[in-house]
Amino acid sequence: MSDLGILAAPCPDGKDLAEMHADLECTLCLKLFYDPATTTCGHTFCKQCLLRCVRHNSKCPICRAALYVNPDRCATNITLAAVLQKAFPQEYAEREQEASNEVASGKAQHTSPSERLYIFHLDTILPRQHIHLNIFEPRYLWMVQRCMEGSRRFGMVGTDHITRTMAGFGTEVEIRLCEQQFNGHILIEVVGVRRFQANDVEMENGCHVANVEWLQDSVPSEEAAPEVERVAGELNTAITQWMGLIVSGRWERQPRQLVKLMEQLGPVPSVSEAEKIGLWVAALINPLPGLGVAPEIRLSALKTLDTLERLKLVLNATKGSIDYMTPSEFAIKMEKVFAHVFQVFVAPVIWLLQRIFQWLFRLHTGGRPVDHTSGT
C-alpha cells in the first residue's frame, strides 16, 4: 500500500492518520514527533525536546511527575518512530534535517556536560569502589525506585570535614544489585562510575537534586609530563610494598579483604594512565569498609583536577601508610623482650596453675591426685 493509501486507511478508532496528526505532535515544539522518547509516566516527546526540558526541571512537562532521564540512556520509541516515518515520510524527513542542523550548530543535547542527578548524602566513594546500602527511609526508597525506572544511577557525596557540610564533589554510582526485602527495605550494591561537581542543589520529595558537572583532569603540560611519569612509576612500586605489608602484617579486617578489593577495582592501570592510577590507588588504600592504616584522602583525590597533585597526594598517603605498618627497631626489640619474659616467667606460672587446677579437680571428685613429681 502506498503512503497515500496509509493516510487514507481508517484507524481502529475511525480516524484517518491525517486527522491524528495533532495527536502525534510534541507538546514542547508543537511539531511532528522526531526520534520520540516515552517517559516512565507514559508521555511522549521528541528526545531532544525532552532532554532540554529535564535539564532545567526534572519533571514531566504534562503531568509534573518526577523524571530521571540520562542523556546517554534515553531510548527511542522505535515502534512509534517507524510508524511516523512510514505515515508521514516527507514531514519526518524535514524533522530529521532540522535535527541534523541542530547537531551541526551545537544545539543538540546528546552529550550535555551538565545534567540533573539525585544526590545521596552518605559517604565519599571513588570510581570503581563498591558499597552495599540498606535503604529504609521513605524518601530514599522513592529515589531508588525512580533510579531503577530510569538509568539506575544517582550521585553519592560525603561530608566536607572542614566546613561540616555536604561536600560539593561526589561520584555518580550505578546500581548493580537491587533486592526488595520483606520489611520494605531495599538492599542495593552500587559501584562508582565518574566524578562530578554538584551545582544548584535543590530538594525534591525530601531528596537532594543537583545539576552536576562531570570532572576530568586537565592535560599535563609538556614540562610536567616527565614528573608525572616519574611519580606514577614510584607510586606503582610503593603500592606493591603496601599490599605485601597488608598481608604479612595481618591488617585485613575481613577474610580475604585485599583479594576481594582487587577483584572489585580490577587490574592496576598502567603508568601512562596517570589520572586512573591515582584514583585507583586512592580507592585501594581507602577502601569501603576501611582498613584503618592510611590517612583519609578520598575527597581530596576526588575533587582535584591536577593529575600531578593527585599523584603526589596519593604517594605521600601510601608512604605514610607503609611507615605506619612497618614496625620500628624499638618495636622489634620490645617484641623480643616480651617474648623472652613470657617464656621465662609467664609460661612456667601458667603451667603451675594448670597442675594446681587439675589436682583440685581430682580432689573434689574423690579421686586420688596424681603425683607428678614421682611420675606415678
Per-residue pLDDT tens over the stretch 15-41: 566 677 888 899 999 899 999 999 888
Under 8 Å between Cβ of 136 and 184: yes
Q: In whole angstroms, what is the distance from residue 374 CA to residue 33 CA?
A: 104
Residue 332 lies in a domain: no
Q: In whole angstroms, what is the distance from residue 61 CA to residue 44 CA?
A: 10
Pairing of the two strands 165-180 and 153-160: antiparallel
Strands (E), 128-164: 130-135, 153-160
Asked if residue 238 has pLDDT above 70, the reply is yes
Query: DSSP assignment, residue 342?
Result: I
Q: Are residues 173 and 242 located together in one domain of the fold?
A: no
What pLDDT was estimated at residue 362?
80
* Planar angle of CA 351, 353, 357, nearest 5 degrees: 120
Task: Tell me the residue length of the chain.
Answer: 376
- Average pLDDT of the residues in 318-335: 80
Q: Are residues 198 and 242 located together in one domain of the fold?
A: no
Find cell 531532544 and name the residue.
Answer: 48
| Residue 166 belongs to domain spanning | 114-214
DSSP H helices, 225-328, are 225-248, 257-265, 274-285, 298-303, 307-325
Q: Is 208 helix (H, G, I), strand (E, B) or coil?
A: strand
Q: In whole angstroms, what is the distance from residue 207 CA to residue 203 CA?
A: 5
DSSP string, 99-129: HHHHHHHT---TT-SEEEEEEEES----TT-
Asked if residue 328 has pLDDT above 80, the reply is no
Q: State the pLDDT confidence band at 14, using cuts at 50, 70 and 90.
A: very low
The pTM of this model reads: 0.65
Q: In whole angstroms, what is the distance from residue 366 CA to residue 376 CA?
A: 18
Q: Are residues 93 and 7 located together in one domain of the fold?
A: yes
Among candidate residues 105, 139, 163, the one where a domain is terminated: 105
Q: Are residues 119 and 101 located together in one domain of the fold?
A: no
Q: Are residues 187 and 121 located together in one domain of the fold?
A: yes
Q: In whole angstroms, what is the distance from residue 56 CA to residue 343 CA?
A: 74
